[in-house]
Structure 1
């Protein structure tokens, strides 16, 4: 059964409360999503560590009820443009 975008967002925000989460359904099938997660908690962490925090928040659902997730993460200061 597909996982709704609202559930993905809830799981991430439960684990990373200060995160700004944007979920996009890439294929319109409830199975392939893109997630953009911006959180102060990511400051000073490598991109790999940031992704690990998000995957941990999803509790092993990626590859199961959440078939595919394209993930973009950043700390807020990384999002500023000059």
Structure 2
């Protein structure tokens, strides 16, 4: 598994999301996901939404995925 494949899966599952995935060892990854679909959702629900885009890969090909999930408004409030 590689970061580009994970990014593509998340982008397919959350249309319009801005996604950045990092991870060099092939099993441990970090992802920043900014999506309007997160509006009104608690962090746990947001993470579940991302995990759902990856299906059975979680716990298998992807051993660990650290997530930072924001709405576009939250991202803008943080500044550059």
Higher helix proportion: 2
Q: What's the C-alpha RMSD, in Å, of the aligned pairs?
A: 1.2
The superposition leaves residues 28-82 of structure 1 with CA deviations (integer Å, 9 ceiling, x where unpaired) of 2111110010001111111111111000000121110011111110111112137
The unaligned stretches of length 5 or more in structure 2 are: none
TM-score normalized by the length of structure 2: 0.90
The unaligned stretches of length 5 or more in structure 1 are: none
Which contiguous aligned blocks of 4+ residues in structure 1 show a shift greater than 3 angstroms?
A: none
Q: Number of aligned pairs?
A: 78
The answer as to 2:66 corresponding to 1:70 is yes
Number of the residue aligned with 2:18: 20
